[in-house]
Amino acid sequence: MPPEHNAGAEHMLVSMLRPLVERGHDVSVWLSRYGKAHKEYDYRGIRVVPLETRLDFATAVRKTDVLVSHLECVPSTSALARGYGKPVVAICHNTHRPSFRDMASGGTALAVYNSQWMRAEAQLFFAEYPKSVRPPAELIVRPPVFAEDYQTKPGAAVTLVNCNAEKGGRVLEALARRMPDQQFLAVRGAYGVQVIPDLPNVEIVEHVDGQSMREQVYARTRVLLMPSSYESWGRAGVEALASGIPVVAHPTPGLCESLGEAGVFVDRADLDGYEAVLRKLAAPAEYRLASKRAKARSAELNPAAELAAWCDAIEALA
């Protein structure tokens, strides 16, 4: 039951459910918040049930084999699952304590973490709990990015996806003022108060859904900025790597793990450092080298093996 405001979480969940559909499984997603849709619909083979349909989720739980939940939906889904004796898979998108605590109520058959560092954080958290309430199995599935869905010829802009302050909206604004001859792209995010610069070299792009990112964002981007105060992984960065787009990022543990050697890491408070990197990447030779590293990292992050292990784990529970 994905919350519709969290685009990264939603993309990860859909990317993990699609392989189950391809293996012939019947997959349904029940939305937990009100939205625009009022009737059931199909999305890439996945049956989506909006909250407005007012269908009985408990009846669906009784008939299902495995329940998958994430974020704030885990406690309520787990409670229903315990009542019907169904296994629950909890997908963790962040290291915030509620994400781990919700699994500690017991009944989570499988915990799925999106990175090595998140699993390490979870292990530290669960060390304080008796073994009986810890998830008996765990799996790492990095947010699956199919490179062919995002590959394009890079554009000319320096881009920030989601312009709230925590994602780096003020960093973008400051850099745009410092570099008036450079074109910037500010993509409005789905959550948080957006910091939208009113500057002639900043073009505003309204919120873009995942299927349109290649054409509307990456095809216009030369360098992606990710000066986020927190990222558990950083899907947008991995999407950009598929096209050989260099990513300049704040060194959060998630971004360091996802971008690897392809990342150019600068502290989000170091505006001089960000400007220096952008000016360095303006040199064709430097850009080619950074682009080559980006494509190599993208190839390393091929999700095929992890998705196969994910499907095997779900089938084992069923």
Q: What pLDDT was estimated at residue 280?
A: 98
Per-residue pLDDT tens over the stretch 219-276 = 999 999 999 999 999 999 999 999 999 999 999 999 999 999 999 999 999 999 999 9
Whether 114 and 207 map to the same domain: the answer is no
Q: What pLDDT was estimated at residue 5?
A: 43
Q: Rounded to an integer, what distance in angstroms lies between the CA atom of residue 71 and that of residue 31?
A: 12
Q: What is the CATH number of the domain that holds 47?
A: 3.40.50.2000
Whether 183 and 125 map to the same domain: the answer is no
Neighbours of 99 (CB within 10 A): 24
Range of the domain at 137: 7-144+303-317
Q: What pLDDT was estimated at residue 10?
A: 67
Q: What pLDDT was estimated at residue 101?
A: 82
Whether 96 and 240 map to the same domain: the answer is no
Enter the tokens of residue 110.
Answer: 């499988």
Answer whether residue 109 is part of any domain. yes
Per-residue pLDDT tens over the stretch 200-219 = 999 999 999 888 999 999 99
Per-residue pLDDT tens over the stretch 113-149 = 999 999 999 999 988 888 888 899 999 999 999 999 9
Whether 187 and 126 map to the same domain: the answer is no
Answer whether residue 1 is part of any domain. no
- pTM of the prediction? 0.90
Whether 55 and 172 map to the same domain: the answer is no
Whether 275 and 154 map to the same domain: the answer is yes
Q: Rounded to an integer, what distance in angstroms lies between the CA atom of residue 225 and that of residue 265?
A: 10
Whether 15 and 102 map to the same domain: the answer is yes
Q: Look at residue 147 and give its three-state secondary structure.
A: helix
- Residue 105 or 189, more confident: 189
Answer whether residue 91 is part of any domain. yes
Whether 218 and 307 map to the same domain: the answer is no
Per-residue pLDDT tens over the stretch 79-104 = 888 889 999 999 998 888 888 888 87
- The strand order across the sheet containing 264-265 reads 202-205, 184-187, 157-161, 221-226, 247-249, 264-265
Answer whether residue 2 is part of any domain. no
Residue 6 reports pLDDT greater than 80 = no
Q: Rounded to an integer, what distance in angstroms lies between the CA atom of residue 75 and that of residue 65?
A: 18
| Domain tally, the chain | 2
Whether 123 and 12 map to the same domain: the answer is yes
